[in-house]
Amino acid sequence: MSIHTPDWVKHAVFYQIFPDRFARTQAPQPFIFSQANWEAWGDPPTLQGYKGGDLWGVMENLDYLQTLGITAIYFTPIFQSTANHRYHTHDYYQVDPILGGNQALQDLLEAAHQRSIKVVLDGVFNHASRGFFFFNDLLENGPHSPWLDWFKIEGWPLAPYVGDRPANYVGWADNRALPVFNHDNPDVREYLMQVAEYWLEFGIDGWRLDVPFEIKTPGFWQEFRQRVKAVNPDAYIVGEVWGDAQEWLDGTQFDGVMNYLFTAPTIAFTAGDRVRLDLVQDRAYSPYPALDAAGYAAKIQDLLGRYDWQIHLTQLNLLASHDTARLLSIAQGDRASVELATLLLLTFPGAPSIYYGDEVGLPGELDPDSRRAFPPESQWDQALLDYHRRLIALRHRLPALRTGAYQVLLAQGFVYVFARQLDAEIVIVAINVGLDAAQVQVSPDDRWASLERLPQSWQVSFGPLTVTGTSQGLALQIPARSGGVLTAR
């Protein structure tokens, strides 16, 4: 079968926002609380405290995102909840009043769309919360509740808060705060489908799906895709799947997944033995042990062989998220690791996603530290921000970096060189993660049958490379711990 994925995603640069931590509005707005018990913005985040970020604040910073080159935002959950991360959904039809309510989302969508910025929301459809009305009715009325079959009840009485007794219902990851839906119940299924349709009709541009692999009901995600695409054929459906995702990327379910199979080897290659194992060993990805260029090439070739090319072009590629430590902290403050990984991110097939603050050098260890408040401009790493801006602009300027074929040209020692080709446009990216400068010769060979010879005249479009073209290929000089981009003249 022919796989169709949304064309706009192939050209997008995403920015992931944790709404409580990005920005508070600077202007009086409806539904915003002036006397709330917020944590100080610059203090270390806690598991239960709120910083008071809101959607109005995001709207006031759209110019910043546009200047950075962002064309799509992925929000972690925004619906009413009693958790600062909002994965404990109370009401799927109400944007959290702390964020400004439904009106704030409507205004944000209008402002974002005027700038051609798409907005993707987080759909938490595996589980709800103890405060979700249907589950709360169970707590009040027990086996007499009309919503009895909406959840997976194992016995009575239910114990939603008392830890010394069995919960007597299934909670996600054994967490009694997160009662799991009974997706085999057609009423539950229909309710969740209508939630997805409602917000698409409201104006959002897609759904990121939380732990979709937990939903085992046959046909659920196939129906979800059909219902979503009926409302908006170009809506983006991206699943949170950390490992191999072939089961969900057959063209009948998701358009892509959060591509941790790109994240892990990219960190292992660029950060190498700088990786702090205590920040990665209990996660569902493995950015260790250190990889040399050949090891990295093998991982990338394996990844590119797993899915249809149209799926690769709509994968959500990332270096960090709210579920991981930030790369700057993983690499023990080594900025070169961040720069090299960002270069690989922004030249790889699929939609790159930047976790808010990474572009200005915001550190962060594991949750809750990885969810710090966005820093004031006085604390930004301006050089790193400029690095991101220039790379994003280059991606927007060169179509081959977005949809061109990907071919490894050289993987030798600590030097990795690959090409992206779209029709006559050829772009070469070269990375040296080693501690010494490298000189390499790159020539076309049987692996790239479509190229009889490389162009002889090249220019450096990004980075500190030195290049000399010959009839046999090109000679590259790459300083230590650096990389760059070449384009044919």
Active site residues: 210, 240
CA 430 – CA 392 distance, rounded (Å): 17
Angle at 402 between CA 271 and CA 371, to 5 degrees: 45
CA 178 – CA 55 distance, rounded (Å): 25
Helices assigned H by DSSP within 324-450: 327-330, 335-345, 382-397, 400-403
Q: Phi and psi for 354 in degrees, rounded to 5?
A: -105, 125
Q: Which residues contact 282 (CB under 8 A, 6 or more apart)?
A: none
Cis amide prior to 363 (ω within 30 degrees): no
Give the DSSP H or E segment for 350. Answer: none
Beta bridge pairs of residue 412: 415
Cβ 80 vs Cβ 89: under 8 Å: yes
Residue identified by tokens 């798409």 is 118
- Which amino acid is it at 477? Q
Q: How many CA atoms lie within 13 A of 115 on its CB side?
A: 23
Cβ 341 vs Cβ 327: under 8 Å: yes
Could you give the C-alpha distances from 310 to 3, 10, 11, 227, in angstroms and in order?
Answer: 7, 9, 12, 21
Q: Smallest Cα–Cα separation from 22: which of 81, 108, 131?
A: 108
Cβ 440 vs Cβ 410: under 8 Å: yes
